[in-house]
Chain A
Amino acid sequence: MMNLSRRRFLKIGAGTMAAAGSLDASLHVLAGSGKPAARGTRTVPTFCNLCFWECGAIATVRDGKLWKIEGNPLDPLSRGRLCPRGTGGIGAHFDPDRLRSPLLRVSERGEEKWKAVTWDEALSFIAGNMQKIKAEYGPESFAAFIHGLGGKFFKQTLRAYGTENIAAPSFAQCRGPRDVGFTLTFGDGVGSPERTDIENAQCIVLIGSHIGENMHNTQVQEFAAAVGKGASIIVADPRFSVAASKAKFYLPVKPGTDLALLLAWMNVIVGEKLYDKEYVDKYGLGFEQFAAEIQPFTPEWAYPETGIDPDLIRATAREMARYRPATLIHPGRHSSWYGDDAQRSRAIALLNALMGSWGRKGGLYIPAGMEIPGYPVPPYPKSEKPPVDNPNNQYPFADEAISTGIREATLTGKPYPVKGWLVYATNLLYSLPNQAETIRAIQNLDLFVVVDTIPSEIACWADIVLPESIYLERYDELHSEPFRQPFIALRQPVVDAPADQKPNWWIAKTLAEKLGLGAYYPWKDIEEYLAARLKAAGYSFEDLKRDGILPGPQRPIYFEDGAPAVFDTPSKKIEFYSAQLQKAGFDPVPKYTPPEQPPQGSYRLLFGRAPTHSFSRTQTNPLLMDLQNENSVWVNAVEAQRLGLKSGDYVRLRNLDGQVSNRVLVKATERIRPDCVYITHGWGHTSRMLRSAFGRGASDSQLITRYKTDPLMGGTGMNVNFVTLETEV
Chain B
Amino acid sequence: MSRFAMVIDTRRCVGCYDCVVACKTENGVPEGYSRDWITEEVHGAFPTLQMEIRSERCNHCDNPPCVSCCPTGASHVHEPGGVVLVTHDKCIGCKACLAACPYNARFIHPDGYADKCTFCIHRVERGLDPACVSVCPTHCMHFGDLDDPQSEVSQLLNSRPHHALLPEAGTKPCIFYLT
Task: Point out residues on A near B: beta carbons under 8 Å.
Answer: 1, 3-9, 11-12, 18-20, 67-71, 81-84, 87-88, 90, 211-213, 215, 217, 220-221, 223-225, 227-228, 240, 242-246, 250, 252, 611-612, 622-624, 626-628, 636-638, 669-674
Contact = CB atoms under 8 A, between A and B. Distances in A.
B32 A11 contact: yes
B14 A212 contact: yes
Given A81-B136, A82-B137, A83-B18, A669 B36 contact: no
A693 to B, nearest CB: 15
Nearest to A70: B135
Interface in B25-62: 25-26, 28, 30-40, 42, 44-47, 49-51, 53
A82 B137 CA distance: 7
B135 A87 contact: yes
A215 B16 contact: yes
Nearest to A240: B49
13 contacts: A6-B20, A84-B17, A84-B18, A87-B25, A88-B25, A220-B16, A221-B137, A223-B14, A624-B21, A626-B34, A628-B17, A636-B46, A670-B49
Contacts of A228: 9, 11-12, 139
Nearest to B13: A224
Contact of B40 (A3, A19, A70): A3
A251 to B, nearest CB: 8
A252 B49 CA distance: 11
A68 B25 contact: yes
B10 to A, nearest CB: 9
Contacts of A88: 21, 24-25
Given A6-B34, A20-B31, A228-B12, A87 B107 contact: no
Contact of B21 (A7, A87, A223, A250): A87
A627 B31 contact: no
A227 B34 contact: no
A224 B140 contact: yes
A6 B37 contact: yes
Given A81-B136, A624-B21, A242 B31 contact: no
Nearest to B26: A68
Contact of A6 (B22, B35, B47, B135): B35
A503 B161 CA distance: 52
B139 to A, nearest CB: 6
B31 A626 contact: yes
B53 A242 contact: yes
Nearest to B29: A626
B32 A83 contact: no
B120 to A, nearest CB: 12
A623 B21 contact: yes
Contacts of B34: 4, 6, 9, 626
Contacts of A242: 14-15, 51, 53
Contacts of A623: 21, 24-25
Given A7-B33, A19-B31, A90-B25, A611 B46 contact: no
Given A83-B16, A228-B11, A243-B14, 5 more contacts: A3-B40, A68-B25, A212-B16, A623-B24, A669-B42
B51 A245 contact: yes
A7 B101 CA distance: 14
Contacts of A637: 46
Residue from B44, B105, B137, B139 having most chain A Cβ neighbours under 10 A: B137
Contacts of B33: 6-9, 626
A453 B138 CA distance: 30
B138 to A, nearest CB: 3
Contact of A671 (B17, B30, B37, B49): B49
Contacts of A227: 11-12
B134 interface: yes
Contacts of A240: 46-47, 49, 51
Contact of B30 (A20, A217, A221, A624): A20
Contacts of A212: 14-16, 138
A498 B16 CA distance: 30
Contact of A220 (B9, B14, B40, B47): B14
A636 B31 CA distance: 33
Contacts of B32: 8-9, 11-12, 626
Contacts of B15: 1, 212, 242, 611
Contacts of A12: 31-32
A672 B39 CA distance: 18
B158 to A, nearest CB: 17
Contact of A224 (B20, B28, B139): B139
A12 B139 CA distance: 32
